[in-house]
Structure 1
Amino acid sequence: MMKFFVSSIALLAITCFVSPCLSDDTIPGWALSSIDDVKKAADGGNADAQTYMGQCCFHGRRVVKDLSAAVFWFRKAAEQGDAKAQRNLGSCYSKGQGVEKDLAEAVKWIRKAAEQGNAAAQCDLGICYFLGEGVTENAAEAVTWYRKAAGQEYAAGQFNLACCYTDGKGVEKDLAEAAKWYRKAAEQGVARAQYNLGMFHEYGYGVAQNHEEAVKWYRKAAEQGNARAENSLGGCYARGQGVPRDLVEAYKWLSLAAAQGDQTARQGLAEIERKMTPDQIAEAQRLPASLSLVSPVEEPPSQNESGLELTLETFESVVEVSEDISFAICFHNNSTNNLLLNGGALLGNGTQIWSSLEAELKSESGQRIPMTLGLGGPMSGQVYFLGVPLRAGSSYRLPVRVYDHLFGSGARLKPGKYEIRCVYRGRQSPYRDSTQMPACWEGKVQSNILRVKVLRPNLLFRLWDILR
């Protein structure tokens, strides 16, 4: 057996899976209103409008970004008992965003939201107790709050609860119960949960040993860029465990893990190279765009040196749509450098807390309608990509479906012709848990223009436009 491909039997060290730093759920109604109407309602004491204004100020959406103003509006709503605002205000205190950092004050507001049943706040409060931030460290109390969040299908709470059962922190060690909660989080797309669940199946921790099932979950996590999962999946291919033995596939996955700094994968690559023919190695290095190998770059090249080109594609030159717009954003790496695409940071419940990809619609009259893609709201159509390696000379095609119900300006699409232009602001994720891949490029690239024609055949839509 090749020792370099054996996954570590030791489970992941207990590490809390942090909830998104700020609740960014759409506040019903206000996203359809003009920002002036929102401001007027917020000034009049409407808590939903105040929370929405806080979100806009925090993210710089529809208004100039102003963290102090965000705290002002969150506090207004929080003092009226709005749970989302309370959790957001607590988050600002915990990170010193727009206000001086104060962990005790953070816990105060997070607790208020948690006691109202806000799942994200319940998970946050559990983390505070587990780490002893703003409160006395108490793993058992952490488990209590994780369980409340997990019971509401909150993925971060499910993962954290599983970790506690894995290590016996705050609760009696129970690998079967850990497997149960890892599975729930894994089914919601949490890569670390998917990796852990794969390891449970590989070694029979809390579940019947099943190598095919292990490969299934390793693959899901690996496809999200989890280095440990890439290494484990490569090991499975190298050993023929749960999947037919294939050194070429093993080389591909180990290369991806090695590119993220995984030392075990680097040693494994050296070992299997001695067992591969030159043709096999050459085949393995011809990776498809979705599995491009990224090599560490000491200094990110500038925009002019990056060679990144952004284009928009559709099946027709002019697309006629009624309820949404579908197109593809294509990234072309025309340089000799390997690049890394980051669309945003995904956390426990799938929320994206920052975005690199923006789009703008321009009407025939010159009106500009900004869209922010990939924030997890209904306007995004779930545009999520993170840590996508783009090898020199390769391309990556990202399908996009943008609903016209909500836009950054609050405007609704009316029948007519529009132009779409996208902007990609390349940067490395500021959250290490999101990706361990190197920052390969930072800068800004604009796409070409795509022309679309919007129809409104539905009478209900026409009536809505009239009533607006």
Structure 2
Amino acid sequence: MRAAVSALAITLALVSPAVQAQTDPLAAMRTAAEAGDMAAQLALAERFETGDGVVQNFARAARWYGLAAEAGSLQAANRLGRLHHAGLGVPRDIPRAIELLERAAKGGAAEHLHDLGLVLESTQTDDASLARAADLYRRAAQAGHVEAAVSLAVLLQNGTGVPQDFEEAARLYRQAADQGHLRALNNLGLLYVRGNGVAQDYERAADLFKAAADQGLPQALTNLGVLYENGFGVPQSDALAMQYYRRGGEGGGTKGAQSPQVIYDPRLAPPPTDQAGLKVLERAARSGDPVAEFQLAFMMLQQGTTDPRSAIRAATLLRRAAEAGHAPSMANLAMMYFRGSGVPQDYVIGQMWLVLAGSAGFDGATGLNAQWSARMTADQVNEAQKRAEAKWSEWRDAEN
């Protein structure tokens, strides 16, 4: 990476893989894991799965989970089973996933009961498996697992694996909705629209849909659009209906699946707005100062211009700052690749930069990672992680 000398007298710690390797905080953990310490193996696997202090890599996580699971860790068996179910870092293997999740569920942990139920529900079609999934959800829900309660309510609502029971489904949804659970808010709203298990109440349905829509749930946005189009529980409005339909089709509002348009570095003061300050900023960016490059790109993106030349220049500036190790620049560059703004749309490259941003210390990477990886295939996620590790190694080798 380029050396960073700030012409703006702002001192920031840019990531340096070479220095990090010399003071590797995970060295002791790696040594213990390689010596067969189950707790260290599990902890190292979790670090690789989340990208905490290392470049996120599901394949490496799976290796360490496998060793910990062989040593008897139920948590490791559960996590490895989830990776096999998703095909992340390992081949997608449903029988192997169920085998591992069954092993973990024997311990009775609510999370493990839920995870086994989820895989059975989503991959099996026979009545016995679906009934088993419902039972697992019920046991997890009784232990306080909210997501399991909502999943059980869905089965009760549809009569899948259990006799149909709208009233019990409504009770479970209501409990979860009171805690702000988005799927519960939306599904309870649907029960009020249809009068299933509750008295039909369009106004109550609209309130529930809006609570979920305000957090960006696409289904709730679309359902709220239907109510506005027909004037059910809300004043009829074709304009609002189209607005909600559009937001639902785009994946939600700004608080939900759609990520912030521009991410600023909280360590920095706001960029200059006066002409003298802007000239200094431009000069510093031309000289290769990554902080100035980031701030200049941020200002260009924040203006929301539709000029493609502006977006291309912003992407160029962010790429240079990202290559210099500036984590927020990596995150913003990732967003540009996800949206195809200033660069060809490429989820793999976008996810690569987001993984690197997390490894470089960007606090918001975890949430953004979850949002965008959900739109990708397992192969795309695995490829992005491989590229991120290769890029990290490239930076490390260049500094050695």
TM-score, reference length from structure 2: 0.58
Question: Following the alignment from structure 1 to structure 2, what is the Cα–Cα distance between the partners of residues 207 and 65?
Answer: 46
- Superposed CA deviations along residues 417-449 of structure 1, whole A, max 9, x for unmatched, are xxxxxxxxxx674269xxxxxxxxxxxxxxxxx
Asked if the contact 1:355/1:374 (under 8 Å) is kept, the reply is no
Bigger proportion of residues as helix: 2
Question: Following the alignment from structure 2 to structure 1, what is the Cα–Cα distance between the partners of residues 363 and 152?
Answer: 33
Question: Following the alignment from structure 2 to structure 1, what is the Cα–Cα distance between the partners of residues 266 and 362?
Answer: 18
Matching residue of 1:144:
135
Map residues 175-324 of structure 1 onto 2, 5 A cutoff: 175-257=166-248, 290=254, 310-312=263-265
Asked if the contact 1:309/1:334 (under 8 Å) is kept, the reply is no
- Compute the RMSD of aligned alpha carbons: 4.4
- Superposed CA deviations along residues 219-239 of structure 1, whole A, max 9, x for unmatched, are 122234334322322333344
Asked if the contact 2:45/2:65 (under 8 Å) is kept, the reply is yes
Question: Following the alignment from structure 1 to structure 2, what is the Cα–Cα distance between the partners of residues 210 and 148?
Answer: 31
Match of 2:105 among 86, 110, 114: 114
Matching residue of 1:430:
375
Asked if the contact 2:228/2:238 (under 8 Å) is kept, the reply is yes
What percent of counterpart residues are identical?
A: 27
- Give the AA of the match of 1:231: T
Match of 1:332 among 280, 293, 302: 302
Question: Following the alignment from structure 1 to structure 2, what is the Cα–Cα distance between the partners of residues 210 and 355?
Answer: 47
Matching residue of 2:49:
58
Q: 1:72 to 1:238 in 2, by over 3 A?
A: closer
Question: Following the alignment from structure 2 to structure 1, what is the Cα–Cα distance between the partners of residues 374 and 177?
Answer: 22
Asked if the contact 2:217/2:251 (under 8 Å) is kept, the reply is no
Q: 1:259 to 1:43 in 2, by over 3 A?
A: closer
- Superposed CA deviations along residues 143-180 of structure 1, whole A, max 9, x for unmatched, are 11111222233333222211110111111110011112
Map residues 117-136 of structure 1 onto 2, 5 A cutoff: 117-133=108-124
Q: Aligned with 1:370: secondary structure? A: coil
Asked if the contact 2:191/2:198 (under 8 Å) is kept, the reply is yes
Question: Following the alignment from structure 1 to structure 2, what is the Cα–Cα distance between the partners of residues 134 and 68?
Answer: 29
Question: Following the alignment from structure 2 to structure 1, what is the Cα–Cα distance between the partners of residues 242 and 95?
Answer: 49
Q: 1:153 to 1:257 in 2, by over 3 A?
A: same
Q: Aligned with 2:100: secondary structure? A: helix
1:78 aligns with 2:69: yes
Question: Following the alignment from structure 1 to structure 2, what is the Cα–Cα distance between the partners of residues 150 and 359?
Answer: 36
Q: Which has the higher relative contact order, 1 or 2, with Cα contacts under 8 A spaced 6 or more apart?
A: 2
- Superposed CA deviations along residues 178-221 of structure 1, whole A, max 9, x for unmatched, are 11222344345443332211111223211233333211211122
Matching residue of 2:380:
none
1:48 aligns with 2:39: yes
Question: Following the alignment from structure 1 to structure 2, what is the Cα–Cα distance between the partners of residues 211 and 385?
Answer: 36
Question: Following the alignment from structure 2 to structure 1, what is the Cα–Cα distance between the partners of residues 121 and 143?
Answer: 20
Q: 1:114 to 1:47 in 2, by over 3 A?
A: same
Match of 1:91 among 82, 102, 105: 82
Question: Following the alignment from structure 1 to structure 2, what is the Cα–Cα distance between the partners of residues 238 and 85?
Answer: 49
Asked if the contact 1:357/1:373 (under 8 Å) is kept, the reply is no
- Superposed CA deviations along residues 385-424 of structure 1, whole A, max 9, x for unmatched, are 987xxxxxxxxxxxxxxxxxxxxxxxxxxxxxxxxxxxxx
- Give the AA of the match of 1:311: Y
Q: 1:196 to 1:185 in 2, by over 3 A?
A: same
- Give the AA of the match of 1:183: R
Asked if the contact 1:358/1:373 (under 8 Å) is kept, the reply is no
- Superposed CA deviations along residues 49-101 of structure 1, whole A, max 9, x for unmatched, are 21121122334442344444322311222233322211012123334444444
Matching residue of 1:36:
27
Asked if the contact 1:104/1:135 (under 8 Å) is kept, the reply is no
1:337 is displaced (CA, Å) by 8.3
Matching residue of 1:414:
none
1:140 is displaced (CA, Å) by 1.2
Q: Aligned with 1:311: secondary structure? A: coil
1:258 is displaced (CA, Å) by 5.3
- Give the AA of the match of 1:171: V
Q: 1:64 to 1:248 in 2, by over 3 A?
A: closer
Matching residue of 2:14:
none
Q: How many residues align?
A: 287
Asked if the contact 1:147/1:158 (under 8 Å) is kept, the reply is yes
Asked if the contact 1:238/1:245 (under 8 Å) is kept, the reply is yes
Identify unmatched segments of 5+ residues in structure 1: 1-32, 262-288, 295-307, 318-328, 345-352, 361-367, 376-382, 388-426, 433-468
Q: Aligned with 2:177: secondary structure? A: helix
Identify unmatched segments of 5+ residues in structure 2: 1-23, 271-297, 312-333, 339-350, 378-400
Q: 1:250 to 1:185 in 2, by over 3 A?
A: same
Matching residue of 2:326:
none
Q: 1:258 to 1:54 in 2, by over 3 A?
A: closer
Q: 1:428 to 1:89 in 2, by over 3 A?
A: closer
Asked if the contact 1:129/1:137 (under 8 Å) is kept, the reply is no
